[in-house]
């Protein structure tokens, strides 16, 4: 799993639909997830630190967690099937851990309000992420090619611990 942060809400250029954009810590990969306008508004408000005069749904969930001593340990976006992302809230109550199925947009909205980490399975990132820093990706790829081209069986044996043991 890879921990990701909310980079913001963006609009899809073609459909003008909102998407949440998650980025990894190196900011080399971004994961766009289509969300509804209501969830986009809720996430934007949370990112801006806006506190409504009366709690909205995601605020209510965060308040329930807080008042009932339920810890939201993390959220996990764990799969992508037929262009639909799936997530769980990983909670702990009185020493009992549970995973609660939810939409990624709701999970992110609650995670922001509770300061909980956002994790994404590597398979999901591999299937749905977009590169952010192509230059860094290309440089890493080229460095790996150079490393591979410099390898020989003799060098591997010479530099390995295998030779020292025998």
Half-sphere exposure (Cβ direction) of 65: Cα atoms closer than 13 Å: 20
Buried b (16+ CB within 10 A) or exposed e, 10-30: eeeeeeeebbbbbbbeeeebb
pLDDT of res. 132: 73
Comma-separated ranges of CATH 3.10.690.10 domains in the chain: 2-132
Alpha carbon distances (Å) from 19 to 4, 38, 43, 73: 15, 12, 11, 24
pLDDT of res. 31: 93
pLDDT of res. 38: 92
The DSSP result for 16-37, as a single string, is --EEEEEEETTS-EEEEEE--H
pLDDT of res. 39: 92
pLDDT of res. 74: 98
pLDDT of res. 136: 59
Mean pLDDT of the chain: 87
Q: Which tens digit of pLDDT belongs to each residue from 47-63?
A: 998 888 899 999 999 99
Q: Assign domain 2-132 to its CATH superfamily.
A: Bifunctional nuclease domain (3.10.690.10)
pLDDT of res. 33: 94
pLDDT of res. 89: 98
Q: What is the mean pLDDT of each run of 10 residues along the chain (166 residues)?
A: 93 89 88 93 91 91 96 97 96 96 96 96 90 64 70 68 54
């Amino acid at each position: 799993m890879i921990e990701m942060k909310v980079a913001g809400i963006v609009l899809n250029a073609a459909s003008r639909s909102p998407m949440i954009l998650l980025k990894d810590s190196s900011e080399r990969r971004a994961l766009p997830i289509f969300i509804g306008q209501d969830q986009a508004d809720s996430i934007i408000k949370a990112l801006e630190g806006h506190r409504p005069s009366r709690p909205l749904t995601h605020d209510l969930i965060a308040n329930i967690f807080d008042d009932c001593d339920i810890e939201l340990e993390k959220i996990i976006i764990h799969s992508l099937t037929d262009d639909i992302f799936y997530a769980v809230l990983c909670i702990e109550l009185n020493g009992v851990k549970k995973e609660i199925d939810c939409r990624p947009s709701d999970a992110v909205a609650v995670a922001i309000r509770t300061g909980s980490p956002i994790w994404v399975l590597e398979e999901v990132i591999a299937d749905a992420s977009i590169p952010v820093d192509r230059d860094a990706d290309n440089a890493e790829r080229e460095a790996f090619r150079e490393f591979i081209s410099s390898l020989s069986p003799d060098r591997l044996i010479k530099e390995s611990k295998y030779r020292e043991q025998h």
